[in-house]
Amino acid sequence: CAPPDAVVWPRTVGQVQELAALCYRCGVPMVPFGTGTGLEGGVNAVQGGVCFDLSHMDAITELSLEDFSVAVEPGVTRKALNSHLRGTGLWFPVGTVGTGE
């Protein structure tokens, strides 16, 4: 495990943009972190850098029942999304995104 040098918890897209611009100007690596499932290896900052913990960005910003689409921030969990969808007749099942199932 290679921990980051620092961790930030932005709450808005604007904050992410400002922090990313600062890291870019300073040549500091950025390591994004969403909801913490651990399926992707978690935060592994092999070259140091700043972890952008996006778990506080948990808004569901758009829902279209007509075309079955939803826009979410990176901190939204499947459980939270399904709670939001309750009563619509829709749900987000496990293991179907990007698998062709």
In order of their start, the domains of the chain are 6-53 (3.30.43.10), 58-94 (no CATH)
Q: What is the pLDDT of residue 100?
A: 45
By CB neighbour count within 10 A (0-12 exposed, 13-18 middle, 19+ buried), where does 24 fall? exposed
Sign of CA pseudo-dihedral 50, 71, 95, 58: positive
User: What are the strands, taking DSSP E only, across the chain?
Assistant: 6-8, 30-33, 50-53, 60-64, 69-72
Residue 40 has a pLDDT of: 59
CB 29 within 8 A of CB 48: yes
Higher pLDDT among residues 85 and 37, named by residue: 85
- 93 vs 27: which has the higher pLDDT: 27
Residues in CB range of 20: below 8 A, 6 or more apart: 30, 52
* Single pTM value for the model: 0.72
For 11-70, the pLDDT digits (tens) are 999 999 999 999 999 999 998 888 766 555 667 888 889 999 999 999 999 999 999 889
